[in-house]
Amino acid sequence: MPRPQKCRKVCCLPGNPGFLPVNGREGLAAVVLTVDEYEAVRLIDREGFSQEECGSYMRVARTTVQQIYTEARKKIALALVDGLPLRIEGGSYRLCDGKEAFCGCGGCRKHRRGRGNTDEEENL
């Protein structure tokens, strides 16, 4: 019997839940990137976290992050190379509730507010 999957901690849901190719054809099946895969790509590629730091933040092992990240990159490559739509949805995750003293991401609502951003900027 396989081990139950741990929920991965995610800072926030993506502002844009999908992407369409410019020259896309109608009726193409979308590639689905899970929210936890999106978060791994965001943390590693956008925020510059190491896989170990990403694992610590998402509350999973580094090897799990490596698997999530590898799968995410394959899906992104498939969408880009084959010109397929990309949707971001689902997965095994829980949102950062902002109750931790330090969440490590700086991007959740609680920690953005501490950097001097206004509520208007948060809604962008």
pLDDT per position as a tens digit, 38-60: 999 999 999 999 999 999 999 89
Kindly state whether residue 102 falls inside one of the protein's structural domains: no
Compute the average pLDDT of residues 65-87.
96
Kindly state whether residue 88 falls inside one of the protein's structural domains: yes
Kindly state whether residue 37 falls inside one of the protein's structural domains: yes
Kindly state whether residue 20 falls inside one of the protein's structural domains: no
Return mean pLDDT, the chain.
Answer: 81
Q: Domain range for residue 89? A: 8-13+29-96
Check which CATH number belongs to the domain holding 92 and give it: 1.10.10
Q: How much of the chain, in percent, has pLDDT values that exceed 70?
A: 76
Q: What is the model's pLDDT at position 114? A: 45
Q: What is the 3-state secondary structure (H, E, C) of 26-72?
A: CCCCCEEECHHHHHHHHHHHHCCCCHHHHHHHHCCCHHHHHHHHHHH
Backbone angles phi, psi at 62, to 5 degrees: -60, -40
